Chain A
Amino acid sequence: MLKNTGKRSDSAPSVGMVLLKMRSLIAFFGVFLVFVIIAPNFLTSSNLISMAKHSAIWAILAIGMTYVIIGGGIDLSVGSIAGLCGMLAGGLIVEGLSLPIFGIIIYFHTPMILLIILFIGVLLGAFNGLLITKLGVAPFIATLGLLYMARGFALLRSGGKTFPNLVGDPALGNTGYPILGSGTILNIPLAVWIAIIIAIIAAYASKKTPFGRHVYAVGGNEDAAKLSGIRVDRIKMFTYMFSGFTAALTGLILSSQLVASHPATGESYELTAIAAVVLGGTSLSGGRGSIGGSVIGALILGVLNDGLVMVGVSSFWQTVIKGLVVVLAVIIDQYQLRKQNEAALKQQSTVTE
């Protein structure tokens, strides 16, 4: 069959392949190392923690987005959902739920508020899912619609104003909201723990459960998925609902960190999340990618973001650099895919037909 003449050529592609596959991780450590060298205060624990906090928020958003994208869709509404959910949470703490018919105002306990808001996030995701599966609206359009609508409702909720000082009132029993954003366990912020737990569950579900397998199938070939007995609509619905959930969670964490809800919170976060997903090697055409990759993608963006600030690069250049990194990642991704196909063909050609 195809004999290799060179001595190294048999093992070289596999080593190269492993390096290629781990490129996001390598890139992360590379970027990290560069900043350790050139930015004097980079390795201080306060900086590391603030970086981890930023990355955690993007990672949470990116995890939900990864499911949607692997399933062949896109969710542009996550930033707005985060903003709206933050506003709704702030509203519930400051103003409570007013029911004019009964002439009462209900103030919920903080855990209850969190649950309500997360549920609203899931409902907003379900709205996307219904538009896409039942009404046949293209995912880009459906979620673009919700991007505007959710942002509009966020502004309407307060007439464009901020809900400040979300500390609650002990008399009403709704204190403790800021803990979500500023609390720590073992000196590590709560948000980071949440991101880690969600990442583990999501990664497990994507690789080891029939559901995860089906998400890849739907994104890879919807027609074949249908004929294979996969309930495609259900799978898609779930991915959007999960994305709505992660968006709501992000909104909660953000407003809790700021101890205030601002209606513009989370603007353009959907693009950061997509960038993180793409950086992690997930294909925007669906069917290919991983949760771990997206988490690393979020970490790279987080490190770049803080590192560039510390080195004193202007925010204008920061934007340019982030764009370059994303484009570069996709180019390398295409290269890897080609190499991978070639390697598979070569391996298969050793089998006699």
Chain B
Amino acid sequence: MDDKNNQAGENPPLVLDAIGIKKVYPGTIALQDVDFKVYGGKINALVGENGAGKSTLMKILAGIESLNSGRMVLIDAEGNREDVNFHSTRDAEDKGIGIVHQELNLFGDLSVAENLFMNKERTKFCNLYIDHSAQVKQAEKVLKTLGQDINPEIPVRDLRLGQQQIVEIAKTMINAPRILIMDEPTSSLSIPEVRVLFDVMKELKNNGVAIIYISHRLEEIREIGDYITILRDSRIIDSGLVKNMEMSEIIEKMVGRDPTQFFSGQAHKTGEELLKVKNITLPRYGGGFTLDRVSFNVRKGEVLGIYGLMGAGRTELLESLMGSINNAEGEIWLAEERLDKMDVKNRIEAGLVLIPEERQREGLFLNLSVDKNLTMSSIRNFTKWFHILKNRELKSVKEMINAISIRVASPDISIRALSGGNQQKVVIGKALLTNPKILLMDEPTRGIDVGAKSDVFEIVNSIAKRGFGIILVSSEIGEVCSMSDRIIVLSKGKITAEFEKSEIDEEAIRKASEIGHGIAVSA
């Protein structure tokens, strides 16, 4: 491993050396024997599948979580080594470590300057008075070093998403950190915004800041990464210079098997038309359209992939189909039945069911047990008059647990005890128990580990084979491409392209997804 660094012939300063890090959560080991080196003035990329332990490692470095065993050593400019042990983010900040989280942690109604100085306000008169003008002045300075022309006095709510992300970075810059952790900062940005972010990162790097960069998008890491560390199943698999590693090598090490084998996507035999959607239009608050005359159909046994960038209207489309957004216009036909005037309950009875994007927020009842979660949408099928037939319910629950291999100690265990992947399977099982004809799946593999991911794909394949129609929405282009029989691309609420299985081409899909984003698109 280390020899790869030396091959490069350069000698960047080591700023942080984590040795033998171990972190245990009740029931799982999140990190084991992790050695992680961070170099100053470099972009240190950290990659791994969901659940590999990236976020846990970052949380430990940033003082959000404490480690169970191992050492963290900070090395200052003179080469002095200092053992550190953080008890809070404040500790880590004091030692020059800042973190930019994947989700924005901003106060929308407060101004940019107030956000930047949250909990580190510039004060006068023994903390009795916040020196607003000093904060604004310094905020301006920081934003300028980031090359951004943002007025520090306006509320964060009024900024574009990309600008908010920059504010998030600026927040950490107030303390002039030596190490900056960035956890998937590009996941919600448009392409031009990503470019701006990369410029900012290069600027910081030139100033000697060590950046730890976490991303799913390997292309990005190829472009700006210097060092790469690969995590898998709570352990470090490999580390070294980015330019010395092949893309396929990285993927293989991340996933633990041949990437071409990973997605079990296959063409399905499709039958007659099942779902027909005509001119779905959803007005946007403040003018324009979130969905603009979207029409398509789904056949029996077909997996229709929908790809689009953040904000393209993917989730809104599925929610409009399901009826949980109910101000959309347009026609929805399932077989011979018109659904668009029905409420959610009737649409479920007609054979439509949604597996929502955020399973904990929209899919699960954390106060209830696994079996009650599973039958929540279909309890009427296990009821005589008004009496729940517990035996019949339990029988179906057990069958479903076996059918989609949910790993539970017992059906009446609290849903909270399950891993993300198993929770996701419960959400899928709940949907399948309604005997649907069409399954709407919104990011069904988000935030679950590799094993559960391939299980989910297997479920998709097997239900497609049984004649269900499936709409699969995903922001992982590889997933969409390999799983779908047909792909439609959404951009700014419009369908911009459609690809049959034989014509699927990642590059073309990507281009179609950027139409209308202010980028010149050829062809």
- Chain A interface (Cβ < 8 Å from any Cβ of B): 205, 208-211, 213-214, 216-217, 219-221, 223-231, 283, 286-288, 340-342, 344-353
Contacts and interface: CB of A to CB of B under 8 A. Distances in A.
Nearest to A341: B416
A213 B376 contact: yes
Given A224-B361, A224-B362, A224-B365, A229 B408 contact: no
Contact of B367 (A209, A216, A347): A216
B50 to A, nearest CB: 14
A231 B324 CA distance: 11
A229 B339 CA distance: 14
B409 interface: yes
B368 A227 contact: no
A353 B366 contact: no
Given A213-B372, A219-B367, A229 B417 contact: no
Given A217-B376, A220-B367, A228-B430, A348 B408 contact: yes
**Which has the most chain A C-beta neighbours within 10 Å: B343, B368, B451?**
B368
12 contacts: A208-B387, A209-B383, A213-B372, A213-B388, A216-B368, A224-B361, A340-B414, A344-B413, A348-B408, A348-B409, A348-B417, A351-B409
B512 to A, nearest CB: 29
Contacts of B79: none
Interface of B: 26-28, 322, 324, 343-345, 347-349, 354, 356, 361-368, 372, 376-377, 379-380, 383, 386-388, 390, 407-410, 413-414, 416-419, 430, 434, 451
B377 A228 contact: yes
A17 to B, nearest CB: 13
Contact of B451 (A213, A216, A219, A353): A353
A221 B388 contact: no
Contact of B414 (A216, A219, A344): A344
B345 A221 contact: no
Contact of B417 (A216, A219, A347, A353): A347
B49 to A, nearest CB: 14
A226 B343 CA distance: 10
A221 B366 contact: yes
Nearest to B345: A229
Contacts of B348: 228-229
Contacts of B343: 231
Contacts of B347: 229
A224 B324 contact: no
Nearest to B389: A208
Contacts of B324: 226-227
Contacts of A228: 348, 376-377, 430
B407 A353 contact: yes
Given A226-B344, A229-B345, A348-B408, 14 more contacts: A208-B387, A210-B380, A210-B386, A217-B368, A220-B366, A221-B361, A221-B362, A225-B376, A229-B347, A230-B345, A341-B416, A347-B410, A349-B28, A351-B408
A68 to B, nearest CB: 16
A216 B344 contact: no
A351 B362 contact: no
A62 to B, nearest CB: 20
B367 A345 contact: no
A211 B387 CA distance: 10
Contacts of A340: 414
Contacts of A223: 361-362
B363 to A, nearest CB: 6
A231 B345 contact: yes
